[in-house]
A and B are shown apart, each in its own frame.
Chain A
């Protein structure tokens, strides 16, 4: 199967600074792929190269198998949703959505019906004659989405489409974008720095750091097996310790168990409670733990409320083998 988009050794330099460093990536057609990474890791730069807004310093970009490295954006047939939405303020919602169709010389009757169809898909048909300024953030976001998909793009590119929305709307729109993607069968690349968003929405996630891809796979593959310490930290693995043979290990706070002394089972680790933070359903416990290599490390355990733990008390911490992830040295 031809990849919907393929990046081969793509590098982008700004002066002496390398924003994207020899990236290789194949985007599966009909899937939702997320580019995930911290601020400044090169996500937008990568997306803009795919869209054609900036040419890579070196490397090749193929779209549907065709070398498009130097093709201008207007010849790529891609739909892009900008973080700022970039809606045309002087046009109505319908004219915004119909802009790409007009340029494609779609006759006006058909254009009107396709615009309305697309607006219905995003649930905004009743606002077709409004100007963008008179819409809420969430509605503007949907118009931007409708404008991008109205042209039936070969790829839909979304740059942090949800970051300007409030928390509740953001969660709601995740499902909404997934639904639209399923209905339209579009290939989607979504940029985000929110790991929950990526985990929830992706078929495939691509994690970036400092201009490189550090891990790639489905959420089910990536989440339990972070490839290195950076990915582990980014995905919320807060605890890092060392095995007896020196291998670095990591484990999530919710996978650590804390038991009172004397209940030593298996290979429990000696620990002392440093701090206990009450968080409603659970307690976040900071512990000084003697790890298998003999070093004392500060770990966080997420345990059920109700446990009687007081700072200063000695306890045993159990890190189940099947929850421990070994990382490269």
Chain B
């Protein structure tokens, strides 16, 4: 090992992240009825319970709807904006990029509170609409980063080559530029769905009686009853998240999504 300290830190990091997850996953498979480690026997009964628990299923569908809509909106706004900033000769490129990336820096509770005041109280918007606005803003950095990174890596000569071979600017964009960006956009979309689905702070702040996301519903549930069903639900979410993350990693690689946008 070339850098022992870095390696040691990495190992500690993994342990800190993974041990609690192992605990949750293990208790989800318990045959008993309390959240205890080590579990009393092994069964799938709590998975059955979780999948049959109406409020969780409803909330999961809501969460998924919110996550997908927010992702589509974020891509629809973020991708063209990034293209315009990178390709056009617009002034203030850094400013626009900064604006789109700012949700990464501003604490979510602040964003949530601002949206609560302005949209729900001020404009009397329903909590789904407000949540959608909030999540869209939160997902924008993914769209912007990944499009920017893919564009920076794509050879600007590609579009010119297509033009030279007889393609109109529009044709060149759709047959060359967009297909080259597609894997990046696709995996940004996946990660953005996962992030929105798992989001707690914003969803917690903007929850309402008529619309609740799954994490918020689970949080409520835990406050009342402390049984392994929540662990089972968490395990299911974890499994889905891992699958999606692996797909995203296979298509472009995290380095490109989380890496800088200004290479």
A80 contact set on B, CB distance < 8 A? 160-161, 164
Say if the beta carbon of B165 comes within 8 Å of chain A: yes
Check A88 against B161 for contact (C-beta < 8 Å).
yes
Q: Is the interface of B mostly helix, strand, loop or mixed?
A: helix
Give the interface centre of A51, A52, A73, A80 by most chain B CB atoms within 10 Å: A73
| Chain B residue at smallest Cβ distance from A147 | B165
Check A89 against B180 for contact (C-beta < 8 Å).
yes
| Chain A residue at smallest Cβ distance from B176 | A88
Check B167 against A86 for contact (C-beta < 8 Å).
no
Distance in angstroms from A180 CB to nearest chain B CB is 18
Say if the beta carbon of B240 comes within 8 Å of chain A: no
A89-B180, A90-B179, A103-B171 known; A82 and B165 CB under 8 Å? no
A88-B176, A89-B180, A103-B171 known; A73 and B158 CB under 8 Å? no
A87 contact set on B, CB distance < 8 A? 161
Say if the beta carbon of B163 comes within 8 Å of chain A: yes
- Assembled-state Cα–Cα distance A100/B164 (Å): 9
Say if the beta carbon of B162 comes within 8 Å of chain A: yes
Say if the beta carbon of A99 comes within 8 Å of chain B: yes
| Chain B residue at smallest Cβ distance from A88 | B176
Distance in angstroms from A240 CB to nearest chain B CB is 40
Check B165 against A86 for contact (C-beta < 8 Å).
no
Say if the beta carbon of A7 comes within 8 Å of chain B: no
Q: How many A-B residue pairs have CB under 8 A?
A: 60
Check A84 against B155 for contact (C-beta < 8 Å).
yes
- Assembled-state Cα–Cα distance A99/B165 (Å): 7
| Chain B residue at smallest Cβ distance from A144 | B161
Which A residues between 2 and 36 are near B, CB-CB below 8 angstroms? none
Interface 1/0s, chain B 161-181, versus A by CB < 8 A?
111111110010001100110
Give the interface centre of B161, B163, B180 by most chain A CB atoms within 10 Å: B161
Say if the beta carbon of A279 comes within 8 Å of chain B: no
B157 contact set on A, CB distance < 8 A? 82, 84, 86
- Assembled-state Cα–Cα distance A151/B165 (Å): 8
Interface 1/0s, chain A 74-113, versus B by CB < 8 A?
1011111010101111100000000110011000000000
- Assembled-state Cα–Cα distance A90/B171 (Å): 15
Distance in angstroms from A159 CB to nearest chain B CB is 10
Check A151 against B166 for contact (C-beta < 8 Å).
yes
A88-B176, A89-B180, A90-B179 known; A74 and B168 CB under 8 Å? yes
Which A residues between 51 and 73 are near B, CB-CB below 8 angstroms? 51-53, 72-73
- Assembled-state Cα–Cα distance A79/B163 (Å): 10
- Assembled-state Cα–Cα distance A100/B175 (Å): 12
A104 contact set on B, CB distance < 8 A? 166
A74-B168, A103-B171 known; A86 and B163 CB under 8 Å? no
Check A86 against B160 for contact (C-beta < 8 Å).
yes
Hey, which bits of chain B sit against chain A, CB under 8 A?
155, 157-158, 160-168, 171, 175-176, 179-180, 182
> Which 5 A-B residue pairs are closest in the complex by CB-CB distance?
A86-B157, A100-B165, A86-B161, A103-B166, A73-B163
Hey, which bits of chain A sit against chain B, CB under 8 A?
51-53, 72-74, 76-80, 82, 84, 86-90, 99-100, 103-104, 147-148, 151
Apart from A100-B165, A103-B166, A147-B161, what are 20 other A-B pairs with CB-CB below 8 Å?
Answer: A52-B164, A72-B163, A74-B163, A74-B165, A78-B164, A80-B160, A80-B164, A82-B160, A82-B161, A90-B180, A90-B182, A99-B165, A99-B175, A100-B166, A103-B165, A103-B167, A103-B171, A147-B165, A151-B165, A151-B166
**A-B contact list, 24 entries, CB within 8 Å:** A53-B163, A53-B164, A73-B160, A74-B163, A74-B165, A74-B167, A76-B164, A78-B164, A79-B164, A84-B155, A86-B161, A88-B158, A90-B182, A99-B162, A99-B165, A99-B167, A100-B166, A103-B167, A103-B171, A104-B166, A147-B161, A148-B165, A151-B165, A151-B166
